[in-house]
């Protein structure tokens, strides 16, 4: 089993500086959505400014009412002032008091009429009122709200017990104050001088505006209900989103771990065909990747088995020849055995070289940058420079196709040269003495099509796929045993597949005896091809 490429410790070291790597995706989705809603929760704190505006507005309203009452009292006869004060208190709900210049209380509306409010003792409040008052304190503390002093009714009710009344008497201007009642409800007061001529009398109006607290608490309750509903909806949607994202990812992760560990022969990676989003694309990509990996492993196993089988034959023959050399004294037989041993050594050398190249092709293609290749020029040059094989049949090699600068493909020029060489070598092996091997090039439907025809016996339909397998070699007797490894066509197919091309064998279209090998390659981009042709830099 292969060692782990990325261990748990290495992953922890890589992610030690990122707090998000230690938190699951589900929790991160929840945190992000709830954080966004938490910003909305700031509306609770804006209620304090809303309350401040209500208080300011009420002070302005009380100030106007006291101005009207003061104007009416200044014009009314002294004997009618008490009755006017009582009626004004009944109408406005204010507690109205008048102090003389010496600060003594002259009249109090609560003494004339039933009080419009009473200062409540917070110790006697019901539990839900105490909870609401506690929430008030929390919100005010977080919002850094202003904390006024608490009002306390004086034992001896005189003007100097009320700072705003004393200020109005001194400055002869209206003055107001905002304090807390004992139960933390707003207690508002406005003082106004009654006689600008200098009598010194002061009118003091006070009110315990519990309705402001009730309005703010009602608004807070509505916001809390909306916020709670939004939180619940966000959590449910986040869980749904996490379920649709996290669970498939976990399934893919578990399948990927099983593939890595190799505990099962076939690991089924969920493809999620119903998903048309990025998760579905990832699932199908991982599934295809695992299948390709399994095919690659199977191909490697089969290749190793084939290599072992192919190497055993020459090794066994070489062992037998060497053992015979040590036992046989006849010079003629020794020379024959020595020739067999030399042939086996050459065969082993050829096999090792071809096997090494076959195993390196995939890795080399994955690392080699592709170039724009003038395919017609490359094949034409190969045909012109091709040298006949020593001791082989006399074969004519011809080429017909577009000229230079017409057909361009993208790839590794050395590997594509190897493909053409293998096909030419294969065609020459089966062609009769004096025969012809013909190469053609054409471009159709975005593909370059190269054909190599020979005049040999051809390939039976039952063998047309098998000849591209590794170590499958059926050669004419004139080539001798062991002169070919059977990897030439397999290497050609591997190279072409690495270039997104194809290869197959068919009968000659003219009906004559022989085989026709055809391979295709995607044409390179026309702009790049034009540039390469114009500058003369296309690989050939």
* Tokens read off for 441: 């090039």
Query: Per the domain annotation, does 156 fall within a domain?
Result: yes
| pLDDT score, position 8 | 44
Query: Per the domain annotation, does 313 fall within a domain?
Result: yes
Other CB atoms within a 10 A radius of the CB of residue 400 amount to 12
Pair 529, 408: CB distance under 8 Å: yes
> pLDDT tens digits, the chain, 540 residues: what are they?
344 444 444 444 444 444 444 566 667 667 776 666 666 666 666 777 888 899 999 999 999 999 999 888 888 887 888 889 899 999 999 999 999 989 999 999 998 888 988 888 888 888 888 888 888 888 777 777 778 999 988 889 999 999 999 999 999 899 999 999 999 899 999 999 987 556 788 999 999 999 998 998 888 888 778 778 877 887 787 777 777 777 888 888 888 887 777 655 567 777 777 777 777 788 888 888 877 777 777 767 766 776 676 677 678 877 887 877 778 877 888 788 788 788 778 777 777 776 776 666 766 666 778 889 999 999 988 888 876 665 566 788 899 887 777 889 999 888 899 899 889 988 888 888 888 899 999 998 889 999 999 988 888 888 888 888 766 665 554 444 445 556 778 888 888 988 889 999 999 988 888 899 999 999 987 544 443 444 333 444
Query: Per the domain annotation, does 193 fall within a domain?
Result: yes
In terms of Cα–Cα distance, which of 188, 182, 185 is closest to 164?
A: 188
Q: Give the single-character DSSP code of 194.
A: S
487 phi/psi in degrees, rounded to 5 = -110, -5
What whole-number distance in Å separates Cα of residue 160 and Cα of residue 7?
81
What whole-number distance in Å separates Cα of residue 250 and Cα of residue 244?
11
Query: Per the domain annotation, does 246 fall within a domain?
Result: no
Residue-range definition of the domain harbouring residue 440: 368-540
Rg (alpha carbons) of the chain, rounded to whole number: 50
pTM of the predicted model over 0.85:
no
Q: Do 373 and 361 lie in a common domain?
A: no
Q: Do 340 and 409 lie in a common domain?
A: no
Q: What is the CATH number of the domain that holds 442?
A: 3.30.565.10
| pLDDT score, position 62 | 94
Query: Per the domain annotation, does 22 fall within a domain?
Result: no
| pLDDT score, position 253 | 82
| pLDDT score, position 530 | 43
Query: Per the domain annotation, does 3 fall within a domain?
Result: no
Q: Give the single-character DSSP code of 257.
A: H
Q: Do 307 and 419 lie in a common domain?
A: no
Q: What is the CATH number of the domain that holds 339?
A: 1.10.287.130
Q: Do 372 and 330 lie in a common domain?
A: no
Query: Per the domain annotation, does 6 fall within a domain?
Result: no
Q: Do 361 and 374 lie in a common domain?
A: no
Alpha carbon of residue 427 to chain centroid: 53
* Tokens read off for 59: 């002070």
Q: What is the CATH number of the domain that holds 144?
A: 3.30.450.20
Q: At what angle do helices 25-40 and 210-261 cross, to 10 degrees?
A: 160
What whole-number distance in Å separates Cα of residue 438 and Cα of residue 453?
5
CB burial class (10 A; 0-12, 13-18, 19+) of residue 204? Answer: buried
Q: Do 347 and 391 lie in a common domain?
A: no
Contacts of 103 (CB under 8 A, 6+ apart): 158, 159, 160, 166, 169
Count of domains forming the chain: 3
Question: Final residue of a domain: which of 342, 367, 392?
Answer: 367
| pLDDT score, position 261 | 76
Q: Do 446 and 359 lie in a common domain?
A: no
Q: Do 293 and 439 lie in a common domain?
A: no
Q: Do 425 and 312 lie in a common domain?
A: no
Strand order of the sheet with strand 175-180? 105-108, 95-99, 202-208, 186-193, 175-180
Q: Do 380 and 422 lie in a common domain?
A: yes
Q: Do 151 and 273 lie in a common domain?
A: no
In terms of Cα–Cα distance, which of 517, 519, 520 is closest to 431?
A: 517
CB burial class (10 A; 0-12, 13-18, 19+) of residue 47? Answer: buried
Question: Final residue of a domain: which of 161, 192, 220?
Answer: 220
Query: Per the domain annotation, does 448 fall within a domain?
Result: yes
Question: Final residue of a domain: which of 162, 191, 220?
Answer: 220
What whole-number distance in Å separates Cα of residue 472 and Cα of residue 124?
102
Q: Do 337 and 437 lie in a common domain?
A: no
């Amino acid at each position: 089993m292969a060692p782990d490429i990325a261990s748990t410790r290495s992953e922890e070291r890589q992610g030690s500086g990122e707090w998000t790597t230690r938190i699951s995706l589900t929790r991160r989705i929840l945190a992000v959505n709830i954080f966004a809603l938490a910003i909305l929760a700031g509306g609770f704190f804006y209620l304090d400014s809303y309350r401040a505006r209500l208080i300011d507005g009420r002070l302005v309203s009380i100030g106007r009412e006291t101005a009207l009452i003061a104007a009416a009292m200044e014009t009314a006869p002294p004997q009618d002032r008490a009755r006017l004060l009582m009626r004004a208190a009944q109408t406005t709900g204010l507690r109205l008091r008048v102090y003389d210049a010496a600060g003594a209380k002259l009249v109090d509306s609560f003494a004339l009429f039933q009080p419009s409010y009473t200062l409540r003792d917070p110790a006697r409040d019901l539990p839900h009122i105490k909870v609401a008052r506690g929430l008030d304190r929390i919100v005010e503390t977080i919002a850094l709200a202003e904390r006024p002093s608490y009002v306390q009714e004086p034992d001896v009710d005189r003007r100097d017990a009320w700072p705003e009344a004393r200020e109005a008497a001194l400055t002869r201007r209206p003055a107001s104050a905002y304090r807390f009642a004992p139960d933390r409800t707003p207690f508002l007061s406005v003082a106004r001088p009654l006689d600008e001529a200098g009598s010194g009398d002061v009118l003091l109006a006070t009110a315990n505006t519990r309705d402001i607290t009730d309005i703010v608490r009602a608004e807070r309750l509505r916001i809390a209900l909306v916020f709670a509903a939004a939180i619940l909806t966000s959590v449910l949607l986040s869980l749904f989103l996490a379920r649709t994202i996290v669970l498939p990812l976990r399934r893919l992760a578990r399948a990927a771990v099983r593939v890595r560990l190799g505990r099962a022969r076939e690991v089924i990676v969920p493809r999620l065909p119903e998903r048309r989003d990025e998760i579905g694309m990832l699932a199908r990509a991982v599934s295809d990747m695992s299948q390709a990996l399994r095919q690659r492993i199977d191909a490697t196993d089969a290749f190793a088995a084939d290599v072992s089988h192919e190497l055993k034959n020459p090794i066994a023959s070489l062992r037998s020849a060497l053992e015979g050399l040590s036992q046989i004294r006849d010079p003629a037989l020794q020379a024959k055995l020595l020739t067999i041993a030399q042939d086996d050594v050459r065969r082993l050398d050829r096999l090792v070289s071809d096997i090494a190249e076959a195993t390196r092709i995939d890795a080399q293609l994955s690392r080699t940058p592709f170039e724009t290749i003038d395919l017609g020029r490359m094949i034409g040059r190969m045909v012109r420079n091709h040298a006949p094989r020593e001791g082989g049949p006399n074969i004519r090699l011809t080429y017909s196709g577009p000229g230079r600068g017409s057909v361009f493909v993208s790839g590794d020029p050395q590997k594509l040269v190897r493909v053409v060489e293998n096909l030419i070598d294969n065609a020459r092996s089966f062609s009769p003495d004096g025969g012809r091997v013909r190469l053609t090039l054409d471009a159709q439907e975005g593909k370059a099509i190269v054909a190599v025809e020979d005049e040999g016996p051809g390939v039976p339909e039952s063998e047309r796929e098998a000849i591209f397998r590794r170590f499958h070699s059926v050669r004419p007797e004139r080539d001798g045993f062991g002169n070919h490894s059977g990897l030439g066509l397999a290497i050609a197919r591997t190279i072409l597949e690495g270039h997104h091309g194809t290869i197959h064998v068919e009968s000659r279209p003219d009906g004559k005896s022989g085989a026709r090998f055809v391979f295709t390659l995607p044409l390179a981009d026309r702009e790049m091809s034009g540039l390469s042709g114009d500058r003369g830099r296309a690989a050939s």
